[in-house]
Amino acid sequence: MRRFESAVKYLPESMENALEIELQHCKGDIKRLVQYSELKLQDSSITEKIDKINNCSFEYQNLQVIKSDFNK
């Protein structure tokens, strides 16, 4: 991208302006994709933590059932 930015400066002004606008759009798209990816990663981390908590709760409940059966 930096090469593109530096190369654009040597073009005629009308082409330079058009490509600068397009470059800004591309940068915005990239920024949004990065933000989306970060949010998706955070969401998956939260989901993993919730799954672990649910698994621990399930295991605890199973242990309580086994314990009550054992104490009969």
Res 53 pLDDT > 70: yes
Task: For residue 8, give every residue at least 6 positions away whose Cβ sits within 8 Å of its Cβ, in sequence order, or none.
Answer: 15, 16, 19, 20, 23
Residue 72 reports pLDDT greater than 70: no
Q: Which residue range is the domain that position 58 belongs to? A: 2-70
Nearest-angstrom CA–CA distance, 19 and 8? 7
Count of domains in the chain? Answer: 1
Q: Who has greater pLDDT, 18 or 4?
A: 18
- pLDDT for the residue 32: 94
* Model pTM score: 0.59
Pick 41 or 32 by higher pLDDT. 32
